Amino acid sequence: MSALAAQLEVQVTGMRLEAEGVISLELRAPERTPLPAWNPGAHIDLLLPSGLVRQYSLCGDPLDNTRLCVAVLLEAKGRGGSREVHDGLRVGQRIAIRGPRNAFPLEAGQRYLFVAGGIGITPILAMARAAERAGADWQLVYGGRSRRSMAFIDELLALGGERVSIQPADETGLLDLEAIAALAADDRHTYSCGPAPLLDALSERFAVEGLAERLHLERFAPAAPAPGAANGQGLTLILARSGMEVPVADDRSVLQALRDAGCSVSTSCEQGVCGMCETRVLAGEVDHRDMLLTDAERARNNVMMVCVSRARTATLTLDL
């Protein structure tokens, strides 16, 4: 994950309304050459014409290297990326992408439970396909506001039949986390993507049931600080190349402190998703809050996403 993927031009070859407020994009290489390989759980960056960069999970078929597919929920109160996709992109238009990258890989196994909330179905759809293709034992619990707002229902039911449980909140209420934990207790690893309240509640329930190690999450936004992590108060950055010391106030991110000090750092999403601001760490312990690095990469403690991550130590020495 250390290096950013190269930029690639693609053409929008299809757009389809998948649910209320959700459209899918089909992307192909302009010369119809093969596209980069990917695995379920991967995402790409869309480099939109306005300059915005947004990350979307791939929801197509990894065995089809002629196209990449993403689905985008229109977020009326968002930062403008989904609005540009919905209102600005058209079939035939060329845009750039980066990736695919995968911070939410589906580990090899034979028994899976998938839990999706709303647009979180996108990486889960690709995972369900892979599990079915591998002959694995899998189940899916899919929640949403209403059936009209839930994408890919017909495709999922065709894929998994009775193994797919569609649970719109206006029909069945909120997802039954106790029942989900009971399914996971049956020797199943659980992969879940959806809004933060769902994932937080799942984490708490699985922790109570002693199942935390079986829960794999992908969040739309940075996770809350880890227990015991230091806050920004008292944090000082030591910039190894210049010897400069940069204090980080409690209400400022590491990235903001660097900018305040006149340091230039490449950034894009500023949500710990794209990896653009990845910075080498020479000393100190990082409190990782990104959604990109794997557990093994975090354990190496040699890089950090300065847009969201902080420190567990009073100082961090950065290769800047």
Residue 175 within any structural domain of the chain: yes
pLDDT for position 156:
98
- CATH number for the domain harbouring residue 53: 2.40.30.10
Residues 278 and 314 both lie in one domain: yes
Residues 206 and 182 both lie in one domain: yes
Residue 124 within any structural domain of the chain: yes
pLDDT for position 89:
96
* Residue of 103 and 320 predicted with greater confidence: 320
Identify whether the C-beta of residue 238 lies closer than 8 Å to the C-beta of residue 315. yes
Residues 115 and 98 both lie in one domain: no
Identify the residue whose tokens are 């909140």.
169
191 closest CA partner among 180, 182, 178, 176 = 180
Residue 66 within any structural domain of the chain: yes
Per-residue pLDDT tens digits for 168-202: 999 999 999 999 999 998 889 999 999 989 999 99
Identify whether the C-beta of residue 286 lies closer than 8 Å to the C-beta of residue 311. yes
What is the dihedral sign for C-alpha 17, 199, 128, 147?
negative
Identify the residue whose tokens are 């210049």.
242
Domain that holds residue 59: 7-102
Residues 171 and 123 both lie in one domain: yes
Please give the tally of structural domains in the chain: 3
- CATH number for the domain harbouring residue 275: 3.10.20.30
Neighbours of 310 (CB within 10 A): 22
Average pLDDT of the chain is: 90
CA 286, 291, 294 angle in degrees (round to 5)? 70
Residues 196 and 270 both lie in one domain: no
In angstroms, rounded to a whole number, what is the distance separating the alpha carbons of residues 11 and 100?
Answer: 16
- CATH number for the domain harbouring residue 201: 3.40.50.80
Which pTM value belongs to this model? 0.79
Identify whether the C-beta of residue 262 lies closer than 8 Å to the C-beta of residue 243. no
75-79, 134-138, 184-188, 297-301 — most confident range:
134-138
Domain end among 46, 68, 102: 102
Residues 193 and 125 both lie in one domain: yes
Residues 215 and 239 both lie in one domain: no
Residues 124 and 200 both lie in one domain: yes
Residue 299 within any structural domain of the chain: yes
Burial class (CB in 10 A: 0-12, 13-18, 19+), 185: middle
Residue 73 within any structural domain of the chain: yes
Identify the residue whose tokens are 């039911």.
157
Residues 143 and 116 both lie in one domain: yes
